Structures are given as structure tokens and as C-alpha cells.
Amino acid sequence: MARRFFGTDGIRGRTNDGVMTAAMAMKVGQAAGTHFLRGGHRHRVVIGKDTRLSGYMMESALVAGFTSVGMDVVMTGPLPTPAIALLTREMRADLGVMISASHNPFEDNGIKLFGPDGFKLSDEAELAIERLLEDDPPLVDAARIGRARRIDDARGRYIHAVKQSVSSDIRFDGLKVVVDCAHGAAYQVAPAAIWELGAEVIAMGVEPNGTNINREVGSTALAAICTRVVQESADIGIALDGDADRLIVIDEQGQPVDGDQIMALIATRLNARGALRGGGVVATVMSNLGLERYLETQGLTLERTKVGDRYVLERMKAGGYNVGGEQSGHMILLDHGTTGDGTLAAMRVLASLVRSGKRASEVLHVFDAVPQLLKNVHYSGNDPLRDEAVKACIAEAERELAGSGRLVIRASGTEPVIRVMAEGDDAAQVERVVDRICDAVARAA
């Protein structure tokens, strides 16, 4: 059964349009609440959000939905997505909800759901909730309607948890760190956690106004932090996205370091201590071939999944891995958390910098990436990947790259976009292949 509402990372869309309305949010609360009403205990859901203006509306609608089917609600206010996963498990809640569209602009919003174990829901659970969305919810009688309350110590709980991921003998004294929070969910907690371990913190992207989340700041708009790191003569820069589940690092020269390099660093450090589980790393089909080649030199493997940190996580759990992520910056460290956590991964990077005593540019560039090019083609009609001319163009490109590179073509799970990625040892060849496919897709779009 195809999913109608859930994409690769929950339900997402433009606010007050399509699936992302207050009415729909209330129905999601009722359906998800009904699905997780199991056992005779008093049921509880934890709801967090990022800093989007529409978060107030979506939060209120979700509260109405959950309480109407008999669930109590705990609201945390703005917190990173991984904090909600953590609190769901810590508070013995039946369900966790994060209201966020991650790195998307403020006009969008989304609903991410976590089970009582703090992990994102399986495809089967999401399908079950979708089926419930088609029916009228079983509302409880007046005496059993849920209660809602806000908690004041949620930020402190999360800060404590990410600090615990760093060995007690490590302090960040002497490090000057630029922290870009994208005017998003981590605007209070990320700078505080890094400062509390001794670093001098220069915070940016920490003045949310409801409409500036991810705007020219954060992990998907790196120009500002790259410039700031150099201007401040900082040792390193930390760039998070709107809900702080992804991380891009900037070295002292102002050069970005993506998720592939971060995974390589963390895996190498853990492997040297005998603490890397699974014999390698889990990443998606988008990770650079250079990462795969580097891991092979270390006697490690790269397990690839389709795009989406949920699929990375599923493979990690099935194979016993403790390090995984995406080139885009999602870092999943199962020794410390249940989902991608940019702040937690930043703490691990900073600890590695301290232990090495070297500059960030020496520590963070672990392997040589092969030339890789990704382009997006928007479409408004039918799926261009079904077009015979597009199929033929892709087949020709695969033959051309055989043995020297890779080709990944996919439809986005969150927007009407075809993503065309190629990589290989010959940069000119990679560019030709990508442009040729993009042209074919554009003609069919």
C-alpha cells in the first residue's frame, strides 16, 4: 500500500495548504493517539517544535487531537528533534511529536513521530496511522479527555544528555567555536552545551522571529558561517539546520566539511578504540565513493541504503552498527541517541579536535572525495523518470560510468524534484553525464 501522507521524514508541506493545515494536524493527533492507546495506563505524548510561526497553530491543533482521544500532552517549546526523541523515552511517553520542516523555509512545516522507544516510526506504523486518518476518530467521553501542560526543564535535560556523550576528562577550553543555529530549534541549547564544556562560543542564527528559520544561515546556507569563522579567527564552525538533526562543520580556513567526512572521522576514532560496531558505517546511496574507498583501506565496510535517515537507522539496528548518517549532515550515533543529532555529533567532533591537538583542517579532511555533482530538476506534471527517453539517457550514462563511478537518480520524498547525482574519477565526465540527464528530465517534465 502506497503512503498518501507520510514521506521520507514524516508529513511535510506548505502551511495552510494540502496536508499541512490545522485540521489535518488535529486528525493526525487523533489517529496517532488512537494507534498508541495500548494498555490501561494513563497515556502521554511529548510535543516539541522548532521556531516557525506556524508552530503555534500546529501545536494547538495536535494538542486538541491527542487530548480528544484521551492522551495527556506534554509540551516542551522549541527544542531540537533529537531532544524530543530523548524526552519521549525518558518520560516513558507513548509517543513523541516534533513539529518541524527541518531545513525547509518557514512557509513549510511538518510532523515527525517517534515511538515510545525514541525511534522514528516504521513504515508499517505510519501506514496504520494513515488508515486511521480515513475514519472518524473514536472520541473519549468528557471525563477521559486528556490534559495538557508545558515543562520548563526540557532544555536542561537535553543539554545534560549531549554533554554526557563527551568523556569526563575532555574540556573545550581554548577552543573558539562559531555556532550557527539557523534561527531554529537549537538556538538556546547548542551554544549553551558547547560553552558549558569550556569553549568560547560565538553564536549566530540565534534570533528567531518566526519567519527567518534557515534564511541565509544554517547547514544549508554556509556562506555566512564560513566568512564568520575566518573573520573571528575561530578554530572551527558548527552549522546546524532548523531542527538541529544535521551538522556541517567548517574548518579554521572557512572550508565546509560534510557528513561523509564527519562519519569517517568518528568511525576512525571509534575503530581505533575497538568501539566501532558492525565492522563499518551505514550511509545512503548519496555518500561519496571516496568514503567507501577510504573505509576499505581501514578494513571497514560502507553499507548503503536509500535516501532518508530512517532507512539508515533501520539498517544500523538490523546490522548492529553504531555509526551512520548522510552526506547532508544527519549523524546517527546509537551509543548516545536514537536519531540524527547535529549537536551531539558536534560534541564528538570537538572532542576529537581536543584529543588530537591539531587544527580542524588537519583533523576533519579524512579522505579525498571523488568529483561528485548533484543537480535538481523541478517538475509539475507526471513523473519524468517514467519517460522512455529519460530511461534511455540514464541507461547510456550508467554504461559510460561503469567501473569508474556511480549514478544515482531519484525523486525527492518532500518536493516535486528529480535529483540527479553522478560521481567518478573524471570530473568533466561527471559534469557531462549530469547535464545530459538533467536536460532529458527537463524535456519530459
Name the residues annotated as catalytic: 102
Cβ(46)–Cβ(52) below 8 Å: no
CB atoms within 10 A of CB 99: 28
Count of C-beta atoms within a 10 Å radius of residue 54: 23
- Asked whether 92 and 3 are in contact (CB, 8 A), the reply is no
408 phi-psi bin (left φ>0, alpha ψ -120 to 50, beta other): beta
Buried b (16+ CB within 10 A) or exposed e, 282-319: bbbebbbbbbbebbeebebbbbbbebbbbbbbbbbeee
Specify whether the CB–CB gap between 370 and 424 falls below 8 A.
yes
Count of other CB atoms within 10 angstroms of residue 18? 12
Residue whose C-alpha cell is 544500523: 316
Q: Which grid coordinates are listed for 413? A: 520524498
Phi, psi of 95 (to 5 degrees): -165, 150
What is the C-alpha separation between 143 and 70, in angstroms, rounded?
A: 9
DSSP 403: T
